[in-house]
Structure 1
Amino acid sequence: MAQARFFEHGLLGALCTPCLACSLARQLGESCCVVACVPGGVFALRTKLRMQQNIEGSICDDCLTLSCCCPFALCQMARELDNAEIGRL
């Protein structure tokens, strides 16, 4: 099951990055408009996830990571959310 989700995130991140970003926004309780219409919306989502999950890092790290390799960063965020969900069960 976990490998299927991992593959799904990777495939979605590679083929349709905006779709994965929208899915992450919904999982974090935000509208898809945050990533589609708001400049820097993806940066805000990553920062929100990092703060909720108590993940080390900074806003500068988030900006650099998303600017250099956005699809991979979004896949990482999706895995973090999946791991947090599994931990709650």
Structure 2
Amino acid sequence: MNGRGALQHPSGALYEGELKGNMYHGTGTYTFPDGSTYKGHFHNNRLKGDGAFTDTQGLVWIGEFLGKAALGLKMQHTYTKQA
């Protein structure tokens, strides 16, 4: 597979994004079975580069991902404007 596409896994996980040589490669979104998501860069099926992980509570963690490691992540704050 090459180009853009979506893959639904039997576990309930979903990948939407760029594919190269039958692997996640480029930018995309991976939704885990628990509903958490990673949006960012992939290289040969691995999280690699800048990205954002949204956990099951809706907190967004941004930073650099290197496979299973994610050093120096920062929580993204959302501010609401009050009248």
Question: What TM-score range do you get, normalising by the shorter chain?
Answer: under 0.3
Which structure's CA Rg is the greater one?
2
Is the strand fraction higher in 1 or 2?
2
Q: Select the structure with the greater relative contact order (CA < 8 A; seq sep ≥ 6).
A: 1
TM, length-normalised to structure 1: 0.22
TM, length-normalised to structure 2: 0.23
Is the helix fraction higher in 1 or 2?
1
